[in-house]
Amino acid sequence: MEDLDRVNFWKGKRVFVTGSTGVVGLNLVNRLVSYGAEVTALVRDWVPQATHLGGWLSADSDVNIVRGELEDYFFIQRVISEYEIQNIFHLGAQTIVNVGNVSPVTTFKANIEGTWNLLEAVRVLKGYSGTVDSVCVASSDKAYGSSKILPYTEDMPLCGEHPYDVSKSCTDLIAQSYGKTYSLPVSIARMGNIYGPGDLNFSRIIPGTIRSILEEKVPEIRSNGTPIREYFFVEDAVNAYLSMAENTRTMNRYGEAFNFSSGEKMSVTDVVHRIMTTMGLQGEPVIRNTGRNEIQDQYLSIKKAQDVMGWQPEYSFEKGLVKTIDWYRRLLA
């Protein structure tokens, strides 16, 4: 969709974004605000640094900020009905693999219960004024689990093994169920490792490496450095979510999932070396090899999204990395 068409589509739309202070949520809300949408953003915890990217978090913003938790069904139902929501981006989740290992119950409650609460609220309110036109649910490539057959395609089974992966498999299946059983306009995004401006989780390899270099420390790799991943720039992720929402009704594929990725496969060590080279640092990172319960190799086929929606990634890793490093230089100056 061209920019003018996109502005015309979103102007005045009443949109609810969960996970609005995460890396995708921050950038998505910024984009929706620029298009003239009426955004309601769910904020659970206040993260002061998030204001460096989300101008909408300021006191004089036009964005409706609601404070609460996905685990509170009646809160979610109230927000959707009271603000007469038309489009929902369900990005809210506990997103860190190691946190899932340490605290599986809180991960399950946020990711699984939070998803059924939101979808049940949409189902209950279906048919009333302000009926929701689209619900875009964030799944993950982790939902597939380990597979000897790669790339992942959307028809492959979801076989998460460890807590975070299982929570995403369940999130995905619940979203499929509500879409297909109740004809709710639900679509599901399975994405790889997202990076870019707004990511404040420095346990992740890209922001963690950039911060280490800016602080004149030797970068560290938690794994043995060999896992293969795709690294997906946040602006491409935002475009993917917008494309799903814009096409949900016309696609008539309720409860279906779509893979989105960059198409560039790299080992963790390769990623760190490319960051070091871009930032003018020589040498080798420290390999800690302490990571546990990580899938070895993961990458996605995006043919379905290309064929059905005409979606394509716009950013190479090199192009996205330059913008990302520049943002962290300003953030951490």
Q: Residue 263 region, left (φ>0) first, then alpha (ψ -120 to 50), else beta?
A: left
Contact by Cβ (8 Å): 230, 263 = yes
User: Which tokens in the block code for residue 60?
Assistant: 């004089």
How many distinct helices (H) and strands (E) make up the chain? 12, 12
> What residues form DSSP beta bridges with 41?
17, 65
Distance CA 65, CA 200 (A): 20
Is 164 tagged catalytic?
A: yes
Which of these, 240, 245, 233, 251, lies nearest to 190 by C-alpha position?
Answer: 240
- Residue 90's contacts (CB-CB under 8 Å, 6 or more residues apart) are 18, 19, 115, 118, 135, 136, 137, 138
Q: State the Cα–Cα distance between residues 271 and 268, nearest whole angstrom.
A: 5
Residue with tokens 């560290």: 220
Beta strands in 148-301 (DSSP E): 186-191, 193-195, 220-221, 228-233, 256-260, 265-267, 286-287
- Indicate which residue of 35, 144, 164, 195 is catalytic: 164
Q: How far apart are CA 176 and CA 259, in angstroms?
A: 14
Contact between residue 230 and residue 320 where contact means Cβ atoms under 8 Å apart:
no
Catalytic residues: 164
